[in-house]
A and B are shown apart, each in its own frame.
Chain A
Amino acid sequence: MSIRIAVGQGSCGIAAGAAKVFAALEQQLAGSAVSLGTVGCIGMCWLEPIVDLYEDNRLAARLVRICPDDAARIAEAARTGDLSGIAGLTISAEDSRFLEQQTRIALRNCGIIDPNSLESARAAGGYAALEAVLTGKGMTPEEVIACIKVSGLAGRGGAGFPTWFKWNAARQSPGDEKYLICNADEGDPGAFMDRAVIESDPHTLIEGMLIGAYAIGAKEAVVYVRAEYPLAIRRLSHAIDEAKAAGLIGQHILGTDFSCEFRIKAGAGAFVCGEETALIESLEGQRGMPRLKPPFPAAAGYWQKPSNINNVETFANVAWIIQHGGEAFAAMGTEGSKGTKVFALTGKIQRSGLVEIPMGMTLREVIFGIGGGVRDGRQFKAVQLGGPSGGCVPAELLDTVIDYKELSATGAIMGSGGMVVMDDTTCMVSMAKFFLDFTAKESCGKCVHCRIGTKRMQEILDRIVSGDGKPEDLDLLEELCLAVRDGALCGLGQTAPNPVLTALRYFRPEFEAHTAVEKRCPAHACAALLQYEIDAEKCRGCTACARKCPVGAIAGNVRQPHTIDKNQCIRCGACFAACRFDAVSRL
């Protein structure tokens, strides 16, 4: 029996210490026959670093929250085959259910194969779909597009536009010079599935893109990756080199007439470049400002040539669909939304990580069933979907089904799959401001509604969280939201009001508390609206708060109840944090 050890080394795992664990294991295993390898991200981020032990190709043990000190024990177990010594490190049955409840297509190889090895990808079925398309009986480009049409695959970047339709439009566009582009400019705060796919299974992306390039008739493919993802760029460029050497990229792929070159272009940090025409401008070396549509990229895109742009997760589904048939993909999901979707479950959640589930599950099933609900025993308040273009869905809508239409009906969107859970300590007004700060900063400035509208909205929200809001501000805010939504040029501006609109729709009393005469923040999050008081009954006169107060606003003698001078208080909360007797209260 041979044991193989695999250390999960995606960016998250490495940040949690996986590289140090790997180095320690390497040292412990020196001279032994046990093989040690790297895999990407399995998506159970709250358990990182994760070390998997395989007996032949069967997972024998999944060890979680490993530190370098555990290496000796793990190495010993791997050498002897006696796993009893590491039983205490093994994942709990409850945590295992996180994966068991998922259906993985886009993430099918993530955390299982070695992202730096073409051989490992091929052993897991990599490039089999490409072979099926190009060699033997093969498929015509029209047949590929028909298969994707049957699958019902829609753009996973957020818009949810049918993939086959875009492919077909690019295919039908006249001209020999066409481009296939992958949008890996994952800029939504709170979404990281594209990074995980590239870091963990880059060949799936390449294969999906090659099939797409074949379908539309492109001879050149470009991946536009965020500069903030250095590891993804490294792994993808290594994968491209390996695929090129194996004749899977370049001229006469697999000995056929199909040729396609690959290129990576690192973005330079601009959220608006997630919009496809802005991305094209950026690819051409310009400021990433969106173009007026039409013409759509399928007619005149990169260098004014027919171009097709899809997101990473969309491409990651393609090879699976070709291999299993469009019907198998369409068998999952709802009437209007087929297949699976990956979500990045984060925020105040027990189990945070990547979740891939068939469309049609409810938000409750994902957040409470898979994610284990809110952590620290607090109350669920809302879940933010779709990042700065999306919105907050409140507790009473937790039974909403995950489906493009159903989610849009709540005012949020499916988006790229960010799912940030918020508890009762999150202030919805300051959350709305957080997103507006983001979109106002990221507005490219091309159209007036977005450039100036988001700025004015930001000013109103600023006023409200600083305690200077007026009741009539809420109507003004709403009016501005609708004007920006209707008047902005591109998706960034049109959706920028969503976080504010949904917050106003579901949490209006919270806004009203901020703007009412007494100016209160019910979540106790807006520092300017808080007042601190010391409960004389509970205060022991330990002086801890008085010593911490940076402005000397707390008076009192030792072992006597202290008091706060509200005129001097700067509301920093230092006393609240310092008190060990729960005597300081926030109002």
Chain B
Amino acid sequence: MENQSARAKSDLSLLAPVLAEYAPQKGSLITILQHAQDIYGYLPADVLFHIAEQTGTTPAKVMGVATFYTQFRFQPVGKYLIQLCDGTACHVNGSAQIAEAIRQHLHIENGGTTADGLFSLNIVACLGCCSLSPVMTVNDDSYGALTPEKAVAILDGLRAKEAAV
């Protein structure tokens, strides 16, 4: 995690192709931010300043847009991003118990990342898999019909996989 400390300078050249394509198109700020987050994993402050400069707007405007949308993060996330759904169907089917089990198991709060940088937990609104509720996604994989035990077993499985590497 050393290279992600607040003082570290991001490699802005990675963003050059994105800016070359989208900066001239009006209304593309959100698209640029999405690409930037794909590249850096989150939106570091120096990247936000760079985007403002390159798109001819103010850092305040860029920050205002970025903070409006829940998709954007301003801190690095763990290798596995857990998105636990708390939509209506998941809620009535017990997502709160799943959240509690994950919090206790990983010792993190909503929005937090484990000390080893492996897991981050985000409780999100509907993921649209309501009929499999309660649901969570870990990176690109979805897991449905969760119970507290099943959720913990999934996380343990991922941790074991990491330990084996």
Contacts and interface: CB of A to CB of B under 8 A. Distances in A.
Interface of A: 11-12, 14-16, 45-46, 48, 186-192, 195, 226-230, 265-271, 282-288, 303, 344, 346-348, 352-353, 384, 387, 418, 420, 422, 426, 431, 434-435, 438, 442, 444
Chain A CB within 10 A, most for which of B26, B69, B140: B69
Give the interface size class of chain B: 35 or more
Interface of B: 26-31, 33-34, 64-65, 68-72, 86-89, 91-93, 124-133, 135, 140, 142-144
A492 to B, nearest CB: 13
A189 B68 contact: no
Contacts of B140: 230
Nearest to A47: B131
B88 A387 contact: yes
B143 A15 contact: yes
Given A12-B131, A285-B28, 15 more contacts: A12-B132, A189-B87, A189-B89, A189-B126, A265-B30, A266-B31, A268-B69, A270-B69, A270-B70, A282-B30, A285-B31, A286-B29, A347-B89, A352-B130, A420-B89
Contacts of B92: 347-348, 420, 422, 426, 431
Contact of B129 (A192, A384, A418): A192
B33 A190 contact: no
A287 B87 CA distance: 23
B141 to A, nearest CB: 8
Contacts of B143: 15
A285 B30 contact: yes
A15 B126 contact: no
A420 B30 contact: no
B93 A348 contact: yes
A287 B27 CA distance: 11
Contact of A347 (B31, B86, B93, B132): B93
A287 B64 contact: yes
B135 A15 contact: yes
A36 to B, nearest CB: 22
A16 B129 CA distance: 10
A287 B30 CA distance: 9
A18 B91 CA distance: 25
Nearest to B124: A228
B135 to A, nearest CB: 7
A346 B130 contact: yes
Nearest to B29: A285
A284 B27 CA distance: 4
Contacts of B65: 285-287
Contact of A229 (B26, B68, B128): B128
A270 B68 contact: yes
Contact of A12 (B64, B70, B71, B129): B129
A463 to B, nearest CB: 19
Contacts of B144: 12, 15-16
Given A15-B132, A287-B64, A227 B88 contact: no
A189 B129 contact: no
Contacts of A344: 130-131
